[in-house]
Amino acid sequence: MSLDRRHLLQFAAASLATLAFGAAAQSYPTKPVTLMVPYPPGGLSDNIARRVNVPLAAAMGQPVIIENLGGASGSIAAQKVLHAPSDGYMVFQGSPNELILAPLAIASIKYKPEDFRQIHRIALAPMAILARAGLPAKNADELAAYAAKAAKDGKPMTYASVGVGSFYHLLGAKMSKDLGVPMTHVPYKGAADAIRDLVGDQVDIFITPYGLAQTEFIKQGKMKAVAVLTPQPQRLLPGVPSTADSKALKNFQYEIGTGYFVKRDTPEPIVQAVHKGLQKVLTDTQLKAGLFAMGQEVSPAQSLADADASYKQEIATFQAIAKSIGLVAQ
């Protein structure tokens, strides 16, 4: 076979494959879609997914199956999405934790935040400093005093996270830096495990989003909320003081969003189809009620351009926090 003919056949084959893929993109979805959750069952991320998958399935006309895959600050699940075809059949439910911070903290992670495209944010999560029930602090200033005393006594205060490089790890490290006292990081695979040990008095604090399950533990006296991380009172913790009201942690104010992502090179018709489905999901009254009850603030509607722009802004913001604490990949 001549070289020219071989090239012609290769070009024809590539063209046919492109046309077939384009046709598949236009008809998407034709089979179940996997919603990849980067933490074990039982945590806040998993609970959000189980509020979303049913109305999303109805909107897209195909089942949406949840897959939980925890570990390595959510990066194992993120890497699995990147290794899958760019066909929209694996959608990542994530946050800056897994996509922005994990690559900064874990040297073995080779992906970049820009490898993903945010299709739509689903919710914003107010955050709080939760503590074991016996920790002697009722607000941020008392917590600062306790941390200073614990460090002086040679038993630094411990803080939980969902993994090295996670937002919760960074917040604990930043708190330690802001207070000028050493604190000990205790990483877990997911929030459910961290909460379990907080209730069991195995760790001192957990700076985290929260929901009804956590507020129920607080009501039962199994743990406490020391401070919220927004200036205004929070709906599920109306009587808990804000860090903004303290002297020691006055500027310690944060929140984190949950969004839906695909690989950056996913064809535009598929991205538009998922975006359209998520837009319908946000009008679902049961979803709104479920997220509201969990303490989540439901996201306003976003265009694809708005979703991508907000993600790029998060990349800049979270990378700046990592730089401020000197986070080094290990």
Q: Could you read off the pLDDT of 13-62 as tens digits, one per residue?
A: 444 444 444 555 779 999 999 999 999 998 889 999 999 999 999 999 99
φ, ψ (nearest 5 deg) of residue 46: -65, -40
Shared-domain flag, residues 187 and 248 = yes
pLDDT band at 210 (very low <50, low <70, confident <90, very high): confident
| Range of the structural domain that residue 176 is part of | 126-253
Angle between helix 191-199 and 44-60 (nearest 10) = 150
Shared-domain flag, residues 133 and 235 = yes
Shared-domain flag, residues 178 and 289 = no
Q: What pLDDT is recorded for position 235?
A: 86
pTM above 0.85, yes or no: no
Q: Which of 317, 278, 313 is nearest to 299 (CA)?
A: 278
pLDDT band at 9 (very low <50, low <70, confident <90, very high): low
Cis check: omega of the bond before 29, within 30 degrees of 0? yes
Beta-bridged to residue 255, according to DSSP, are 126
Q: What pLDDT is recorded for position 19?
A: 46
CATH of the domain at 66: 3.40.190.150
Q: What pLDDT is recorded for position 5?
A: 63
Positive or negative: CA dihedral 266, 272, 278, 282:
positive
Decide: 101 and 161 in contact? Cβ < 8 Å: no
Nearest-angstrom CA–CA distance, 156 and 147 = 7
Write the CA distances from 173 to 83, 287, 310, integer angstroms. Answer: 32, 34, 25
pLDDT mean over 315-326: 88
pLDDT band at 172 (very low <50, low <70, confident <90, very high): very high
User: Does residue 16 fall inside a structural domain?
Assistant: no
Decide: 171 and 162 in contact? Cβ < 8 Å: no
| Number of domains the chain contains | 2
pLDDT mean over 186-209: 94
User: Does residue 12 fall inside a structural domain?
Assistant: no
pLDDT digits (tens, 9 = 90+) for 287-296: 999 898 777 8
**Least-confidence region, from 3-12, 124-133, 201-210, 247-256:** 3-12
